[in-house]
Amino acid sequence: MVKIVVTGFGKFGNIIDNPTTKLAELLKDDANVHEVHVLEVSAEGVRAALAPLWQDAADPTVFLHMGVNGGSKQIDLEQFGYNLANFNIPDERGWVAKNETITANEAASLETTLPLEKFLAHCTEQGCKVALSNDPGRYICNFTYFLSLAQTKARPNHHIMVKLIVTGFGKFGPVLINPTTKLATQLKDDPIVHTSFVLEVSAQGVRAALEPLWAEAKDDDETTVFVHLGVHDGTKTILLEQVGYNIANFRMPDEQGWVAQNEVIVADQPDSIRTHLPLETYHAALKAEGLQVELSTDPEDEQLHSIKTLLGLLSTLDDANTPVAAHP
């Protein structure tokens, strides 16, 4: 899993009650957050507090640094940190930097590798007031951000993107309108999802559609997660399937006419394979979100809400390429 370290700031200048102090405190109990720190607003204090955290960031780690912009009416997602300290007021240890280089032998600016455009689209969709920015000032906020960008740039896997591929199914047997068709279609425009499409309900159709994606994922540097949506008409909940079984035994023909009878799916493979995704963690997180992962009077909307929440959890993975199945 990706480790998220959140920082806020304490008092400085005439800002006695820094709102990022309270935000940091509120985030301490968030299930997605690994550590929270309130930093002293000083160059020396920032270096002293963050140096051991940068050093310990062996696992994939995202540092989320929160700062105050008194002239902004929204959350600004900063795209760049600048290798320049130019303070209008002293920091909390009395230093007044005047056009000082923060890190020697570094570029004049560094850009985050996080996909801020996708984050912006997702946050806006959720009704949040968020904007992209390329000016974090030149005070301690920028000082902190540039140092973190420089430190994480020097490390392998300093940023990990997870590619999410979602599949639904088309018609089969008496099911002419498959709900996973609509779910997969609705998820096409989700900023977290890389690709979403509908599979023909046939063994040959599935192989033909997915084999190129499996091959691409095997050679890709990015982590790929396959989310396969299927129909289970005997349940009133969304089931996160833990195990796939190496047997095909069809009660009706697939869409190309094959009726498998106790056929092995893949030779030289075990009878079953368990996903190594932390489904227990996802289940707990869904419950913590207050979601009832079950059918309702408007089942497709309820299913989509739950699936989108699951995708948000999956987007934080650093596991190897792996599938997960969800049955609404």
* CATH code of the domain covering residue 117: 3.40.630.20
Binned at pLDDT 50, 70 and 90, residue 317 comes out as very low
Instruction: Give dist(CA 54, CA 41) in Å, integer.
Output: 18
Residue 261 lies in a domain: no
Backbone angles phi, psi at 239, to 5 degrees: -100, 125
Q: Which candidate, 77, 98, 94, places its Cα nearest to that of 141?
A: 77
Q: Which two tokens stand for residue 118?
A: 């996708």
Q: Which DSSP category does 128 fall into?
A: -
Q: Which candidate, 182, 161, 187, places its Cα nearest to that of 170?
A: 182
What average pLDDT does the segment 313-320 reach?
Answer: 47
pLDDT of residue 214: 87
Chain center to CA of 46: 27
pLDDT of residue 234: 65
34-43, 189-198, 302-311, range with the lowest pLDDT? 302-311
Residue 320 lies in a domain: no
Contact (Cβ atoms closer than 8 angstroms) between residue 175 and residue 231? yes
Q: How many domains does the chain have?
A: 1
Residue 297 lies in a domain: no
Residue 38 lies in a domain: yes
Binned at pLDDT 50, 70 and 90, residue 125 comes out as confident
What average pLDDT does the segment 309-314 reach?
Answer: 48
Residue 263 lies in a domain: no
Tokens 């996802």, located at residue: 282
- In one-letter notation, the amino acid at residue 36 is V
> Is the predicted pLDDT of residue 237 greater than 80, yes or no?
no
Q: Which two tokens stand for residue 83?
A: 């290798």
Q: Which candidate, 31, 18, 138, 40, places its Cα nearest to that of 86?
A: 138
How many Cβ atoms from other residues are within 10 Å of residue 105's Cβ?
7
pLDDT of residue 314: 47
Residue 302 lies in a domain: no
pLDDT digits (tens, 9 = 90+) for 18-46: 999 999 999 988 888 889 999 999 999 99
Residue 143 lies in a domain: yes
How many Cβ atoms from other residues are within 10 Å of residue 22's Cβ?
12
Residue 84 lies in a domain: yes
Residue 27, domain extent: 3-153
Sign for the CA dihedral angle at 126, 81, 7, 61 comes to: positive
pTM confidence score: 0.54
pLDDT of residue 89: 94
pLDDT of residue 300: 37
Instruction: Give dist(CA 219, CA 196) in Å, integer.
Output: 20
| Most confident by average pLDDT, 83-97, 108-122, 255-269 | 83-97
More confident residue, 59 or 217: 217
